[in-house]
């Protein structure tokens, strides 16, 4: 995997390793160059964000402006917003996959 992609808060990632492998989540904060904190608002709430090694994540091109704005304004983001962002990304992605983009 190409680690040149700069990870940033609000970015959607696909989890590659661990119990949640295959799931999508949103980066809620960056620990350092090797670790980020992710949450999906459902199984993994914002207050219980999971610390993940960036090598175990596949960054997606999508960065949620709603999450970025919320984090900048209040330093946190609601679980419902995380759920919404993840579910919208997954449904958009499956539509794109069906079209063959």
Look at residue 5 and tell me if it is in a domain. no
> From the CA atom positions of the chain, what is the Rg in Å?
13
Residue 3 has pLDDT above 70, yes or no: no
Question: Residue 97 pLDDT > 50, yes or no?
Answer: yes
Q: For the purposes of burial, counting CB atoms within 10 Å of the CB of 64, is it exposed (0-12), middle (13-18) or buried (19 or more)?
A: buried
Whether 53 is in a domain gets the answer yes
Q: Containing domain of residue 17, as a range?
A: 11-96
Structural domain includes residue 45: yes
Please give the pLDDT value at position 53.
Answer: 97
SS3 25: strand
Answer yes or no: is 38 within a domain. yes
**Total number of domains constituting the chain:** 1
CATH number, domain of 34, equals 2.30.30.140
pLDDT digits (tens, 9 = 90+) for 34-92: 999 999 999 999 999 999 999 999 999 999 999 999 999 999 999 999 999 999 999 99
Indicate whether 101 belongs to any domain.
no
Query: For 8-36, what is the mean pLDDT?
Result: 96
What is the structure's pLDDT at 27? 98
């Amino acid at each position: 995997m190409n680690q040149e992609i700069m990870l940033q808060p609000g970015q959607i990632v696909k989890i590659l390793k661990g119990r949640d492998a295959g799931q999508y989540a949103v980066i809620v904060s960056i620990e350092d160059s090797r670790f980020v904190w992710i949450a999906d608002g459902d199984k993994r709430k914002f207050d219980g964000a999971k610390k993940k090694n960036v090598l175990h994540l596949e960054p997606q091109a999508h960065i949620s402006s709603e999450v970025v704005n919320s984090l900048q304004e209040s330093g946190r983001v609601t679980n419902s917003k995380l759920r919404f962002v993840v579910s919208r990304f997954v449904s958009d992605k499956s539509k794109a996959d069906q079209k063959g983009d």
